[in-house]
Structure 1
Amino acid sequence: MADADSIVTRRPDAGLDPRAAPTSEFIEQIRRRFPVETEMDRVLTRKMRLRSGPGYSPISLDQLEAGARRLISRNIGEDFTLSRVRWLTGGASKIQVAFDLEWNGPAGDQRQSTPMVLRMEPPESVVETSRMREFELIQALDGLVPVPPCYWVDADGECLPHPALIYGFVNGVTCPSSLKSTQVTGIGLNYGPELRPLLARQFLDQVGRFHRAGAELAPRLPHFDGAEVGSNLSVIRLVNWWRRVWEEDRKEDDPLVELAYQWLIKNAPPLDHVSIVHGDCRGGNFLFDEQTAQITGWLDWELALLGDRHQDLAWSMHNAYRHMSEDGKDELMSGFLPLNQYLEEYERLSGLSVDRKRLQYYRVLVSFMSVVICGGTGYRVARGGKTHQDVVVAWLAMITHPIAEQMRETLEEVL
């Protein structure tokens, strides 16, 4: 069977970058080579079919307000008003707008003003994901861990320029107000010696809660493919997801990426427990109240899946999310605790064990994901001018080589 590159070289415009204007044959070849979850197949296929379309162009607040009105009226009718519509900063991959909604409430029986957030995709994101999955999961997690109430979803961009969802506004900060940093949120985030122990315990306790709840919540997640104890099918689908993204987005091939992919497929471990996996589990992806030191809301569930808890642990231990303690003696995982203490505290609070060999597998996997996101999609989105966050995605593309070096070192430990 011909590979994807040989298919596109027969095009009349073969001198162009084939991934910038993919043919139907190119798209279908990649879909066959790398089977993924049903909803992710839809999302990634849609991305490729729209790839040769226009890049990002500014969308006005008036346009987004009009789209939000259409989405809300489709769900609750016309008895509402919007006010204080404003841009929200933050978020490396989505367009976010805050507003207040005066309405009769979720039950339709009490007039109230509710602060809300519209979260919408740009033409392409540094991670291409499903608003429907995000919507379902946040609703399912309500009452288990702090998450915003999730109200409405425009999964196919029928009311807004691109797929979007609307959820409740949660007060809090992602980092201490005293922290003066120009880093991307989460990179080397230092909570300081006073906040650190208070947040660390809540962080690990709440991670343990959604890790325990995978099998229980799975029936409420119809846009997630299932995962089974004793099977490694969900793991292989996950590895294929990111290998597929690499094939769709890369500028050039990289033997190290292919080596990592082959090793990950060959060594994919069967699940020992089905967890809700956050997918971007780390400091900087939750809000907290600085006065009470309480976590008020978990953010950015777009990469979530049903899978292995060790993926979240490995991601939270990624080199980029560590820093040294003030005395210079310990490297703190996600800015919280030294490695052994971090894992022991997770086991104590979650009631789930940590398998060090399995954790090593997922350390390779999250490094693999990081290389794909930065060196594949970061490059592609910046090159195509597809996002409002052009500086951020260009920076991600720039740091690909040190991340690839981390993947090489991690692979050497297991080979």
Structure 2
Amino acid sequence: MYRLPAVDKARPSPAWIAALRRRYRTEGHIDRLLTRKLERRAGPGFRPLALEEMEAALGRLLAARIGGGFAIRDTRWLWGGASKLQVAFTLEWDRPGVGRERTAMVLRMEPAESIVETSRLREFQLIRAMEGVVPVPPVFWCDEDGDFLPYPGLVYGFAPGVAKPRHDGDRVSGVGSVLNADLRARLAPQFVEHLARIHTVDFSGADLSAFDRPATGTTECAAWGLDWWERVWAEDGDEDIPLLRLAAAWLRRNMPPLDRASIVHADYRLGNFLFTEEDGRISAWLDWELGRIGDRHQDLAWTTSRAFSTPADDGSTPLICSMMPEAAFFEAYEIASGLTVQPKSLHWHKVYNAFSLVVLLLATGYRVARAGKTHQDVLVAWLIGIGYTILDDMRDQLEKGA
């Protein structure tokens, strides 16, 4: 892993930013986002926003997108999630093709700095591309650069359902959440089927202009991803972790060629979809912010991470996302998708995912919480502790590779 000269990362110089951009070759839109983050880093931290301020900002966005004749009602904060601000509201408007309607909507907006720097435009485009493929909320408008909103954001439809069972209490959704046998039986087949659809959909006609498309038969996809997270470590890390440097070198030497370009959700797990408890139906897939055009094994490795597994009723058999054993998941996925699971690519992506998660938790998470850049500083600080568990998991994966 390349180490740049010591620098004040709270106030990075243009020359240092330019050096990062030369060193790490990410997708064009990712480069733009990371550069924007550094250029704005010396600005103020997060400040609480009043609902009245949010309503006024929404009004400016809507006036620019649909003109007049609308009313914003029932505005309220939505809590949960470690990365983005979310506001629920009802819009009374003349919906194209429908007429006068009261539509439940959600504004999803960045804080001053997030635990993960991602693009609202990319998220907007991916959700729209998935309409009719898997359950997703309708997306309406995007303010990519925060021209109208306090920070960049997008507006999508409010979807019914819960992200975790109500009996799960105050746990962070998806981390240690436990499904009972009835919910497992209902949700698991949909969970597999939806992932298969995402990976096999023909996206050639979709507007995915914010994404670079890697060439099959090359390691371009793997290189873009590795450069992304090495760059974030260089930007945000404040300590030297030799194991991360070892992992980066191993990942660089063993990059797998891409056999098929797929839509990748990149955070496909329990906690990132809504479901209705009364019938166990998945009603909406959320949190597409890390999505990319890439290798399906990134999702497969992420979904089967130990971080998202829980023990079965016997107390010992691990269930991926509290649903099924890993072997059963892969078997069902291959049947549903018609695609094979390549062990070498799967293993590489297990190391890669652990690497990216350690970077997010031990570098970016620590920096944004310490600098007061996020509304979720307490939760983000708590998540940092999980980083060392992931680091240990990455060590185990590297030993398997050796």
Same fold by TM (over 0.5)?
Answer: yes
| Residue from 365, 374, 389 that aligns with 1:387 | 374
Runs of 5+ unmatched residues, structure 1: 9-17
Q: Does 1:5 align with 2:5?
A: yes
The structure-2 alpha-carbon separation of the partners of 1:141 and 1:296, relative to structure 1 and needing over 3 Å to count, comes to same
Query: What is aligned with 2:80?
Result: 90
Q: 2:3, 2:292 → 1: CA distance?
A: 29
Q: 2:96, 2:393 → 1: CA distance?
A: 47
Is the 8 Å Cα contact of residues 95 and 122 (structure 1) preserved in structure 2? yes
Q: Does 1:410 align with 2:400?
A: no
Q: 1:217, 1:302 → 2: CA distance?
A: 20
- Which is worse superposed, 163-172 or 388-397? 388-397
Instruction: Tell me the CA shift for residue 178 of structure 1.
Output: 2.2
Is the 8 Å Cα contact of residues 218 and 226 (structure 1) preserved in structure 2? no
Q: 2:257, 2:35 → 1: CA distance?
A: 28
Runs of 5+ unmatched residues, structure 2: none
Query: What is aligned with 2:34?
Result: 44
Q: Does 1:173 align with 2:162?
A: yes
Instruction: Tell me the CA shift for residue 219 of structure 1.
Output: 4.6
Residues 117-128 of structure 1 correspond to what in structure 2 (within 5 A)?
117-128=106-117
Measured against aligned partners, the alpha-carbon deviations of 1:174-218 in whole angstroms (never above 9, x if no partner) come to: 1111223x33210121111111021010011001101112x5347
Q: Does 1:131 align with 2:120?
A: yes
Instruction: Tell me the CA shift for residue 400 of structure 1.
Output: 2.1
The structure-2 alpha-carbon separation of the partners of 1:361 and 1:395, relative to structure 1 and needing over 3 Å to count, comes to same
| Residue from 353, 362, 370 that aligns with 2:357 | 370
Query: What is aligned with 2:139?
Result: 150
Instruction: Tell me the CA shift for residue 398 of structure 1.
Output: 2.5
Q: 1:45, 1:138 → 2: CA distance?
A: 25
Measured against aligned partners, the alpha-carbon deviations of 1:271-323 in whole angstroms (never above 9, x if no partner) come to: 11111110111111000011121100001000000011111111111111001
| Residue from 177, 181, 204 that aligns with 1:189 | 177
Q: 2:292, 2:11 → 1: CA distance?
A: 30
Query: What is aligned with 2:103?
Result: 114
Is the 8 Å Cα contact of residues 106 and 155 (structure 2) preserved in structure 1? yes
Q: Does 1:81 align with 2:71?
A: yes
- Which is worse superposed, 119-128 or 401-410? 401-410
Measured against aligned partners, the alpha-carbon deviations of 1:336-376 in whole angstroms (never above 9, x if no partner) come to: 11111111011111221111121111110111011101011
Query: What is aligned with 1:63?
Result: 53
Residues 121-270 of structure 1 correspond to what in structure 2 (within 5 A)?
121-180=110-169, 182-213=170-201, 216-217=203-204, 219-270=206-257
Q: 1:295, 1:217 → 2: CA distance?
A: 26
Measured against aligned partners, the alpha-carbon deviations of 1:149-180 in whole angstroms (never above 9, x if no partner) come to: 00000001000111000000000001111223
Q: Any idea what SS the aligned residue of 2:105 has?
A: strand
Instruction: Tell me the CA shift for residue 406 of structure 1.
Output: 1.1
Q: Which amino acid aligns with 1:384?
A: A
| Residue from 277, 287, 307 that aligns with 1:290 | 277
Instruction: Tell me the CA shift for residue 235 of structure 1.
Output: 1.3
Query: What is aligned with 1:13?
Result: none
Is the 8 Å Cα contact of residues 129 and 203 (structure 2) preserved in structure 1? no
Residues 257-336 of structure 1 correspond to what in structure 2 (within 5 A)?
257-336=244-323
Q: Any idea what SS the aligned residue of 2:271 has?
A: coil
Q: Which amino acid aligns with 1:191?
A: L
Q: Any idea what SS the aligned residue of 1:369 has?
A: helix
Question: Percent of aligned pairs with the same residue?
Answer: 47
Measured against aligned partners, the alpha-carbon deviations of 1:358-407 in whole angstroms (never above 9, x if no partner) come to: 11111101110111010111111111110000011111223322221111
Q: 2:340, 2:385 → 1: CA distance?
A: 37
When normalised by structure 2's length, the TM-score is 0.97
Q: Does 1:356 align with 2:356?
A: no
Q: Any idea what SS the aligned residue of 1:4 has?
A: coil
Q: 1:104, 1:399 → 2: CA distance?
A: 47
Is the 8 Å Cα contact of residues 212 and 274 (structure 1) preserved in structure 2? no
Q: Which amino acid aligns with 1:57?
A: R
Instruction: Tell me the CA shift for residue 34 of structure 1.
Output: 0.8
Q: Which amino acid aligns with 2:26?
A: V
Q: 2:316, 2:34 → 1: CA distance?
A: 44
Is the 8 Å Cα contact of residues 213 and 293 (structure 2) preserved in structure 1? yes
Q: 1:397, 1:324 → 2: CA distance?
A: 23
Question: Considering only aligned residues, what root-mean-square deviation do their CA atoms show, in Å?
Answer: 1.3
Q: Does 1:102 align with 2:92?
A: yes
Is the 8 Å Cα contact of residues 218 and 306 (structure 1) preserved in structure 2? no
Measured against aligned partners, the alpha-carbon deviations of 1:212-235 in whole angstroms (never above 9, x if no partner) come to: 12x534752000001222121011
Q: 2:396, 2:3 → 1: CA distance?
A: 30
Measured against aligned partners, the alpha-carbon deviations of 1:2-21 in whole angstroms (never above 9, x if no partner) come to: 96325x3xxxxxxxxx1111
Aligned length: 401
When normalised by structure 1's length, the TM-score is 0.94
Q: 1:397, 1:177 → 2: CA distance?
A: 26
Q: Any idea what SS the aligned residue of 2:38 has?
A: helix
Is the 8 Å Cα contact of residues 37 and 113 (structure 2) preserved in structure 1? yes
